[in-house]
Structure formats: C-alpha cells, structure tokens
Amino acid sequence: MRGVAIVGVGQTKFGVSTETSRSLGVKALLDALDDAGTNGREIQAAYVGHYGLLDRQKGLIGHLVLSDAGITQRSPIPITRVEDACSSGAVALREAYIAVAGGFYDVAVALGVEKMTHLPTIEALTGMAQGREQDIEGVMGMNPIGIYGMKARLHMERYGTSEEQLALVAVKSYKNAASNPYAHFQKNITKEDVLNSPSISPPLHRYNFCPFSDGAAAAILVSEDLVKKYTDTPVYVAASVQKSGFFDDSGDLLTERVLGDTAVEAYEKAGISAKDVDLAEVHDASSIAEILAYEALGFCPEGEGGKFVEEGQSQIGGSTPVNASGGLTAKGHPVGATGLGQTFEAVKQLRGEAGKIQVPHPEYVLTHTMGGLYRGEECNKVVHIFKR
C-alpha cells in the first residue's frame, strides 16, 4: 500500500441554494482543482458520493459534473457513483483512497453532492424512511428522528444525562458555525433557545437536530511520490476504515459497537490513540449522536458524554474539540456531500487555514460519518484519520 495525500479541497457553502446539484458539484470540483494547482488533466478516476433519493437529479451526477468541469473531454476516465446514505461522501473518499493506495491510479478525485431543500422537511423524511424497500421500520415511520429520541431518553435514564447537557451540544455547534463562512446557520443560540424550541422527539428539540442542506465538496488525492508536484502542505490519510452493522438484534441502542470497532481499527492503522486526536468532526445528526460519539471514539468513558460537553471539553480549546465547523447540526447536512465536507474542514485545520475556528496546531484530525439506520443500529460507519 502506498501513502496517499490530499493536495486540494473545495466546498460550496452548505445551506439553501437556488442552484442545481450539478452546478454545486462543478463549483466544488473546480475549487478543489484550483487548490491543487491543476486543471484536472492528470485525474485518472472519480468517485462521487450522491444519495440521490431526494434530489431531482437521480443518477449520473458525477458524469454531468465532470463533463461540465471539462475533465471528461481530456480523457475518458472511470466515474463511479457511491451511495451509502448519509455516509456516501465519506465512502467515495475511501474508494478514491483505496484506488490510489493500491496503485490502480496515481491521481483521483472524490466528490460529494446533494440538493435537498426543495422538498418540505416532512416529505423528505418520509421519502428517506420509505425509500428502504420492504423495510417495515421505514414504512411505520421509524425514522432517525424517532430513534434518536429513544437513544436520548435511554441515555438520560441510564447515566443521568440532562436535557441541558444535550442543549449545550447544539449551543457549541452554533457558536462554531457562526464563525464558519461555509455553514448553513451562522448565528449564536443559547441553552434556553434550544430548550424552548419546539419538541420534535422528546426529549429532543428542533435545535437538537441537523437541517437538510444543499451543497457539494471535493478532494484531490495523489500518491505520496507525486505530492511535491502539487503542494508544500499535503495532508496525509493516516487511516480509512469502514464497517457495517451487525443487524442481529443483540445490540443496545447506546453501545455504538460498530463505531467503537471502527475507531479502534482506525487508531491502530494510524498508530495513535484517542488522546492523540486534536480535533474530531463527527456525525451529529442529533445532539445525542455527538454525545454517543464522544464515548465510542474514546474521548471520555461510557456514560460521561453529557459531563464531557458540560465541562467544555469538546469546545475549541478543550481536551478534544469536536465539530469546530459547526458539525451537521449547524454547518449543515447535504447528505452525499457531508463526509467530504468534513474532509474539507480537516484539511483546512491541518494546514492552519481554518480562520476563526482554527484549532491550535493540530497534528491529527478524525472524521466520522454514519449512513442509514436499521433495527436501531447505524448501517454504515466510516472513520478517517488525517495527519500533517
């Protein structure tokens, strides 16, 4: 296996956009190419994360984007769409990484794109739930919002976590997003704002959940021997691990056993431990998801996630900053682009280019994305660790 570096990243602003997914994808890709100092002539393969179930453009988005960006006119490269629900972008990055690390290609692009805000929220949620063919959970309305509510209630009963601690996760996310020009929401909120916002899935309120967003993000990956051709500030992929759920009814809503296993393998591959992580961008589709991630990733003991956020340990300047970007909760969640949006943030942080949300002197940044829910368990977990 060869070393792989990211030499260019690009991203649109996440949020409500009047543009199509196609035009958003072109913007992110061209920005990544410009960041890498190339016109794309050297690109040999592309992997494109796109959920597509809610997007007007249902398929072949990568072919359209790369054509519009002028890539396909130079060479008839393989373009592969990747769909793994909310982890589609992260899996696209992993596929590009594997292709370069394995020596199949020297230069590859990973792109994630999604257009979602044209649909009312209830219609989008219904579409996501019923899109799981013959899945009785989806048909009966067992969508992520309901499952996160159950997880939060169980965590409160088992460990004494409070609604106030859950609210502090959202307050932190919005505070960080307010200083992130790429974020969907750029405003500060208070604990009272969270607790007084409409109850969505008790004990969770509106501000405890991420929005649907439009957006795109891209990364250019090259083999380590080509790095100097593109940049003096490469960011290396230290680990890329993906695992799927057990789906055997023997788990517990709070164990996060898949994420725990994924993290352990990622730490081993990177040669580090949880205490070496300087920043984590995690899949906080809900505040309880971030608290569970603290515990599963080893940032704090099981059951102490509420205490961890209350003590300020997950803030910029804390022991392990989490979601300096604002996370899915406030930066936004354009499903197919989310994982690559996290990658964009990781690269910017490791280069020292994150502006007002910069974490001091990071050496290792972890990203975690999940995709899908079945039998109360996340279908897919992806953990990447990046290093300078």
Q: Where do runs of H (alpha helix) occur along 219-279?
A: 227-230, 257-270
Mode of pairing for the β-strands spanning 364-374 and 377-387: antiparallel
Stretch (H or E) spanning 187: none
Q: Is 86 marked active-site?
A: yes
Contact (CB, 8 A) for 376 and 138: no
Residues 173, 165: Cα–Cα separation, whole Å? 13
Q: How many CA atoms lie within 13 A of 76 on its CB side?
A: 0
Neighbouring residues of 191: CB distance < 8 A, sequence distance ≥ 6: 164, 167, 168, 171
* Span between the terminal Cα atoms of the chain, in Å: 19
Neighbouring residues of 120: CB distance < 8 A, sequence distance ≥ 6: none
Residues 314, 328: Cα–Cα separation, whole Å? 15
Q: Of 50, 86, 155, 184, which is the active-site residue? A: 86
DSSP states of 106-159 as a string?
A: SEEEEEEEE--TTS-HHHHHHHHHHTSTT-HHHHTT--HHHHHHHHHHHHHHHH
Using alpha carbons, list the distances in angstroms from residue 19 to 56, 114, 368.
12, 11, 28
Contact (CB, 8 A) for 356 and 179: yes
Q: Is 210 marked active-site?
A: no
Neighbouring residues of 238: CB distance < 8 A, sequence distance ≥ 6: 269, 270, 271, 272, 364, 385, 386, 387
Residues 315, 153: Cα–Cα separation, whole Å? 24
Q: Of 50, 184, 333, 384, which is the active-site residue? A: 333
Residues 67, 61: Cα–Cα separation, whole Å? 10
The residues that are catalytic are 86, 333
